[in-house]
Structure 1
Amino acid sequence: MALNHAKSGEVIDVRPLGPALADARTTTLVKAEHLEVLRLVLPAGKAIAEHRVPGPITVHCLEGRFAFSALGEERELEAGRMLHLEAGEPHALRGIEDASLLVTLVLGKG
């Protein structure tokens, strides 16, 4: 089954999910040659082990709260807060509250 990703110029709703967050799943919103944008759903207590991505990333908390570990520090992000990392930086995430995040990955030379 093919996944539907937004087409160029299409409007995408990234507002908080509110009550629907509890049943939501991570979804890739945009997938292009050099760009991927996803809504990452991170339940309270769930952890994503340390990993790296080849390009720069941004992580924007849409709702809830989570911990982001990188560069030797753990930072808490809540709704409206965002950070970025340069390519290849190891990082890990941990849900403090049920949260959804807008993650943007640069996949190559764009």
Structure 2
Amino acid sequence: MALKHADPGQVIDLSPYGSRLSAAQSIALFKSEDLEVMRLVLMAGKAMPSHHVAGEITIQCIEGSVEVAAEDATHVLRPGHLLYLSGRAPHALLALEDASVLVTVALKRIPPAAA
């Protein structure tokens, strides 16, 4: 069964999970033609290997702390911190503590090939 995404105009609760964090799962909140928003949950010590996406991206820490390796630097994000990355920038995440982060991706539409 497909996951129900938020509808335009629908309020999404991004409050910290707190004591429920260990049972929480990553979730795609919505995806439109131009934008995708996900809430990622990473337990302490878990990593997301280096990857990239075509569009620009933001990573906002909601709770816990994560280390983000990107743009030839390593950044530690704590609650309230937001990191902006350019499109195609390789980045990797490592949870320093149990954490949840909000990831927003600007989707790049690939122009049709010239005929």
Could you give the per-residue CA deviations for residues 10-33 of structure 1, whole angstroms, max 9, x where no partner exists?
000011010110011100001111
Shift in Å at residue 89 of structure 1? Answer: 0.3
In structure 2, the residue matched to 1:30 is: 30
Report what 2:105 is aligned to: 105
Structure 1 residue 2 displacement after superposition: 1.4
Query: What's the CA shift for 1:41?
Result: 0.3
After TM superposition, give the deviation of residue 103 of structure 1 in Å: 0.4
Unmatched segments (≥5 aa) in structure 2: 110-115
TM-score (norm 2): 0.92
For the residue of structure 2 that corresponds to 1:94, the secondary structure is strand
Q: Secondary structure at the match of 2:33?
A: coil
Instruction: Give ranges in structure 1 of 5+ residues lacking alignment.
Output: none
- Equivalent residue for 2:75? 75
1:38-88 deviation line (CA, Å, top 9, x unaligned): 100011000111100000000000000010000111111100100110100
Amino acid corresponding to residue 43 of structure 1 in structure 2: M
The count of aligned residue pairs is 109
Q: Percent identity?
A: 48
Q: Distance in 2 between matches of 1:108 and 1:92?
A: 20
Runs of 4+ in 1 over 3 A off after TM superposition: none
Q: Helix, strand or coil for the counterpart of 2:25?
A: coil
Larger Rg over CA atoms: 2
What is aligned with 1:55? 55
The alignment partner of 2:93 has SS state of strand
Normalised to the residue count of structure 1, the TM-score between the two structures is: 0.96
Match of 2:18 in 1: 18
- Amino acid corresponding to residue 11 of structure 1 in structure 2: V
Q: CA RMSD in A?
A: 0.8
The 2-side partners of 1:46 and 1:37 are apart by 21
